[in-house]
Amino acid sequence: MTTTVAFLGLGVMGFPMAGHLSKHFNVNVYNRTTSKAQKWAETYSGKAFENPRDAVADADFVCVCIGRDQDVIEMMEAQSVASVMKPGTIVIDHTTTSALLAERMSALAEQYGIDYLDAPVSGGQAGAENGCLTTMVGGNSSAYDKALPVMQAYSQKVAHMGPSGAGQRTKMVNQICIAGLLQGLSEAMQFAQQADLDGDKVLEVISKGAAQSWQMENRGHTMLKGEYDFGFAIDWMRKDLGYAIDEGKRNHSLLPVTALVDQFYAEVQAMGGGRWDTSALMTRLVKHNT
């Protein structure tokens, strides 16, 4: 008998992820804006549904990749999607949410005899398209083991990080690293320009040593050119940093620069840059020097 995977949310990430699944599984898709589901069904082999409850009804696994906490609550609770799944279904939530949401959904799932894994991803649109995401998973081990082949359809790396919420907390660690790192890189790139250095050459020279980072190699040159029209949007980043800072209150972490950079991102949003790549932190440093 073929395994059926439902995929809810066909955005930038979900669309190609569900596409990868269609090569291995029987796939049902649902998207709030119906046209995207239709387009998906024209592109890949699988079935589009107009209603998430129908899409999940006979699924063995339900992948979710939507916006934020309230979207998941709306889907699972308000629209009763969790309650219509058959017992034993495993929900794999790829949405980046709070850890509290993961715990709440996990408790809800238990009521219905289903499993819930929080499984945020990193790797961006390119990672989703090329099927080489990194997937960080929280939840119980047996559900994880069963869900692994599903997640491997679009991941180069899947890791079980701990109980419910641990996937989200791992993703928070990732985002905290990026915030400080990008601010440092932004100040540095701006300094290079102000110092009349050849920025590309500077990047070439320093990118083999202790200052090296993925962002330096992949975003340094575009930052110097002022190109930000791609990548991971600042609006998403602020959502993620918000979850991290809130979680930090609960687990008594100290996040001074994360909190500060979050405010700098607010400034870029106010400049109209909410959809720009996170490396657009640099724009608030260079804007005055023109």
Ligand X SMILES: NC(=O)C1=CN([C@@H]2O[C@H](COP(=O)(O)OP(=O)(O)OC[C@H]3O[C@@H](n4cnc5c(N)ncnc54)[C@H](OP(=O)(O)O)[C@@H]3O)[C@@H](O)[C@H]2O)C=CC1
99: nearest Cα among 281, 274, 259, 247: 247
Residue 73 binding a second copy, by CB under 8 A: no
Residue 288 binding a second copy, by CB under 8 A: yes
Residue 243 binding ligand X, by CB under 6 A: no
93: nearest Cα among 80, 106, 83: 106
Per-residue mark of binding to a second copy, 4-33 (x: CB under 8 A): ------------------------------
Shortest approach of a second copy to residue 183 CB, angstroms? Answer: 5
How, if at all, do strands 133-138 and 121-122 pair?
A: antiparallel
What is residue 90's three-state secondary structure? strand
What single DSSP character describes residue 11? S
Among the listed residues 24, 54, 67, 248, the single contact to ligand X using CB under 6 A = 67
Among the listed residues 3, 125, 152, 213, the single contact to a second copy using CB under 8 A = 213
Span of 63-71, 142-150, 181-189, 273-281 interacting with ligand X by CB under 6 A: 63-71
What single DSSP character describes residue 279? G
Span of 118-126, 212-220, 247-255, 276-284 interacting with ligand X by CB under 6 A: 118-126
Structure tokens at 28: 């049902």
Phi, psi (5° rounding) for residue 277?
A: -65, 150
What is residue 158's three-state secondary structure? strand
| Helices 34-43 and 14-21, packing angle to 10 deg | 40
Residue 126 binding a second copy, by CB under 8 A: no
Pairwise CA distance, residues 176 & 195, whole Å:
29
Among the listed residues 112, 124, 206, 285, the single contact to ligand X using CB under 6 A = 124
Residue 205 binding a second copy, by CB under 8 A: yes
Pairwise CA distance, residues 256 & 243, whole Å:
15
Catalytic residue (choose from 36, 171, 208, 225): 171
Span of 38-46, 59-67, 150-158, 182-190 interacting with ligand X by CB under 6 A: 59-67
Q: Scanning the structure block, which residue is given the tokens 């932190």?
A: 281
Pairwise CA distance, residues 213 & 69, whole Å:
30
* CA distances from residue 96 to 44, 57, 146, 187, 219 in whole angstroms, order as listed: 25, 24, 21, 28, 23
Of the pair 107, 159, the CB lying nearest a second copy is at 159
Among the listed residues 74, 100, 257, 275, the single contact to a second copy using CB under 8 A = 257
Pairwise CA distance, residues 240 & 219, whole Å:
20
Shortest approach of ligand X to residue 161 CB, angstroms? Answer: 16
225 carries an active-site annotation: no
Residue 195 binding a second copy, by CB under 8 A: yes
Of the pair 11, 242, the CB lying nearest ligand X is at 11
In the region spanning residues 198 to 237, those forming contacts with ligand X, defined by CB under 6 A, are: 232, 236
| Residue 136: contacted member of ligand X, a second copy, none (CB under 5 to 8 Å, by partner type) | a second copy
| Residue 194: contacted member of ligand X, a second copy, none (CB under 5 to 8 Å, by partner type) | a second copy
Per-residue mark of binding to ligand X, 75-94 (x: CB under 6 A): x-------------------
Question: 12: burial class by Cβ within 10 Å (0-12, 13-18, 19+)?
Answer: middle
The footprint of ligand X (CB under 6 A) covers: 9-14, 31-33, 36, 65-67, 71, 74-75, 95-96, 121-122, 124-125, 232, 236
